[in-house]
Structure 1
C-alpha cells in the first residue's frame, strides 16, 4: 500500500482541534498535540478507509471536524500561560525543518485499541529527518512541559465532552 504523503504542520490542542488563543486560559495546564497534517490526497484515502470501516462497524471511531487524519509528533501537557512561547518554539522548529515540503511513504494499515474503541492507523516509514524533527520539538517545548494534567487540560465539544483516563495518560 505504498502511498506518498506531503504534510502541513499544525500545533493542535485538545487532541483534535487547532488551538484557539485564549480557549484554555481558565486552566493552568493545556494538553497539546503537535501534529503533521497529510495533504488532501492522503486525507481522502484516510476518510475513504474510515467510511468503509464504519459501514461494517458504525460505532467505530469516526473522522469528523474535530478528529482529523494526522501524524502525532508529540503530545504533552504544557503551562497554559506559556502557550504563546510554545507556539513560538514550535514555529522556530517548523521554520528550520520545513516539514510541509517532505514526502513520506505510507507502508501499511494497522490498528490499536484506544479507550475500548478500535482505531485503524496508516503507518508511515520513519526517516532520520522525521526523528530529528521530533527530537527538536521535544527539546523546544521542554521548558514549558509539565508532568501531569487532568481532563480539564483538554478541549471538549458538546458532542465529545468526556475525556477518559487513557487520553489523560
Structure 2
C-alpha cells in the first residue's frame, strides 16, 4: 500500500509539471510610447470613457501601447522569449515615431477609435524583427484561459481569442497597422476630439516590453521590459 501511495505521488508530481510546462499564454510584444504620447492617449481615453463607461479604460492594467506582435507561447518558454528580446530596444531607441491622426469610422454613429501611428521604416523593421525572434516559440492552440481573466468573471471575447493566432498571417507585414487603441465612443464626440484635442506629434519609444494580454487586446500583465 505504501508503494502505491509513493507511486501515485510521483505520478501526480509528473502530471503537475507537465501541465505547467504546457500552460499556454497570450502575449504582446509592444512599444511603450514616451510620456508625452502616453499623456495624450490617457487624455483622449478619459474623455471617451466618460462618453462610454463600457469601453476600455487606460490605466496601469491597460497600458497605452503600439503592438508589434501578438501570439501564443508556452509559459515554460518565457525565459527564452525574454532572452530573445534583449537588445531589441537598442535598435530603435533613437528613432522618432509620429502620431498621425485620430482614426475612427466617421460614417457610423458609434465607432472604435485609435491613434494611428505612421508606419515608418524603423517601425516596420522592429515589427518584422519581433516576429523573427519569437517565431521558434509561437504555438497555435491557446484558449481563453491563456489571457489575464476579466475581473468581473465574464468570458474572454471570442474575437480576442481568434485574433491572436491570426496576427502573423492576417495583421503583419503589408497588413501591419501600428496604432494606440483608445476605445469606443459616439462619433460626434470623436469628431470633436479630432478637431480640438488630438495633436499630431513626434515621439520616441520609452521601452520594448512583453505583456500577457487581457480581453480586447489590452496589455495587462508585465512579463518583461527593456527598461
1:63 to 46, 58, 64: 58
Larger Rg: 2
1:108 aligns with 2:101: yes
Two-structure CA RMSD over aligned residues (Å): 2.2
Comparing both chains, which one has the higher relative contact order based on Cα–Cα distances under 8 Å and sequence gaps of 6 or more?
Answer: 2
1:45 aligns with 2:40: yes
Query: Which structure has greater strand proportion?
Result: 1
Taking structure 1 as the reference length, what is the TM-score of the superposition? Answer: 0.73
Query: Which structure has greater helix proportion?
Result: 2
The CA distance in 1 between the partners of 2:152 and 2:42, in whole Å, is: 20
1:86 to 73, 81, 85: 81
State the shift of 1:148 in Å: 2.5
Taking structure 2 as the reference length, what is the TM-score of the superposition? Answer: 0.56
Matched-pair contact (CA < 8 Å) for 1:108–1:124: yes
Partner of 1:126: 119
Structure 1 gap segments, 5+ residues each: 1-24
**Distance change (3 Å), C-alpha of 1:157 and 1:27:** farther
Residues paired across the two proteins, number: 139
Structure 2 gap segments, 5+ residues each: 1-19, 163-227
The CA distance in 1 between the partners of 2:21 and 2:145, in whole Å, is: 9
* SS class of match (1:43): helix
**Distance change (3 Å), C-alpha of 1:85 and 1:60:** same
Runs in 1 of length 4+ with deviation above 4 angstroms?
Answer: none
Partner of 2:29: 34
